[in-house]
Amino acid sequence: MSSSGPVDNAVVDLYKSPQSLKNQRLILSSADPFTPKYVQSMLTQNSDPAATYESRVKNRQILLENPARESRLKRERREKEAKKKAEKQRVKGKLGSKAAREKALWRIEPSQAKFALFLPLHRLWLGYMSELLALTQPPSMPDTPSPSAQPNAGTMQAKLLKADFHGSVMTVKESKNAVLVGLSGIVIRETENAFEVVTKQDKVKLIPKQNSIFTFAVPLYSTLPPSHTNETPLPLDQEDVPQKTALDDPHIEFDLYGNQFRFRAADRAGRKFKPKETIEL
């Protein structure tokens, strides 16, 4: 700072607060630098901060930034951006429900809407239930069921809540829409709010879950051959097995409240259900 008046030179410490130095020329000096004082003041637990500064800091190159950490952060940022981009492309390429309806991907041709064509799917579902619920083999005499073979209903309900119902025979037991009562068929598609079934009359019906109570049957005994293991695939159908449903053999029936079951099959697998009473239809 300078002016037109007489000038006096003054040595000023750079790190001290400037005072009124009007009409003086400032000479900045580092005779008392900031770094040594700062480093020594931070070494509060050291017995000799000055000696530590002289041996470990003075005249040494100090990196104020960590290039390795910076490169790691940049790499993580690039990976995160790549994941976001891949997710956007996946969602963009995935057809939504509206686009699927427009392309008729879920529509079944009338010639394919045959109850008999979906019986193998039902047999596959019975085998899936036998494996999921660990059902026992039927007794040697059909007229003398074994009391020890009766499964635990509470354990079965916990597993059925997360099970897949494609292939099951679903029947409308009660409904606010009286036209739906008694409607029954093999489930060929389950959405969040409805079951799509093929009836014995070879008709495709879409049954809403809301305000309806369904019933479905689970076999009392295993439908799998005795030689079946977990490593072998489930048999789609056997030629020597009559084409019949779970209702034609000893079975257990369960009621399903549609209002409490409005979830997709994939969402139920990871959802926790809590038992609660209901007075809803």
The domains found in the chain, sorted by start residue, are 8-56 (no CATH), 102-269 (2.30.30.210)
pLDDT for 275: 67
pLDDT of 216 over the 60 cut: yes
Phi, psi of 10 (to 5 degrees): -140, 135
pLDDT of 139 over the 50 cut: yes
Q: What is the mean pLDDT of residues 168-187?
A: 93
- ∠212-217-220 over CA atoms, to 5°? 155
Q: Identify the CA nearest to 120 among candidates 240, 238, 230.
A: 238
Q: Identify the CA nearest to 250 among candidates 223, 220, 225.
A: 220
Separation between Cα atoms, residue 195 and residue 101, nearest integer Å: 16
pLDDT for 180: 92
pLDDT of 208 over the 70 cut: yes
The sheet carrying 251-257 orders its strands as 204-208, 194-198, 184-190, 169-175, 212-219, 251-257
pLDDT for 1: 41
Give the pLDDT band of residue 185 (cuts 50, 70, 90).
very high
What mean pLDDT value characterizes the chain?
76
Q: Per residue in 20-60, pLDDT tens? A: 555 666 555 666 676 777 777 777 777 788 888 888 878 87
Give the pLDDT band of residue 132 (cuts 50, 70, 90).
confident
Q: Per residue in 230-276, pLDDT tens? A: 666 666 555 555 578 888 888 889 999 888 888 887 778 777 776 66
Give the pLDDT band of residue 206 (cuts 50, 70, 90).
very high
**Which DSSP string do the residues of 142-188 spell out, in sequence order?**
TTS--GGGPPPHHHHHHHHTTS--TT-EEEEEEESSGGGTT-EEEEE
Indicate whether this model's pTM tops 0.75: no
What are 207's strand-pairing partners?
Answer: 195
pLDDT for 23: 62
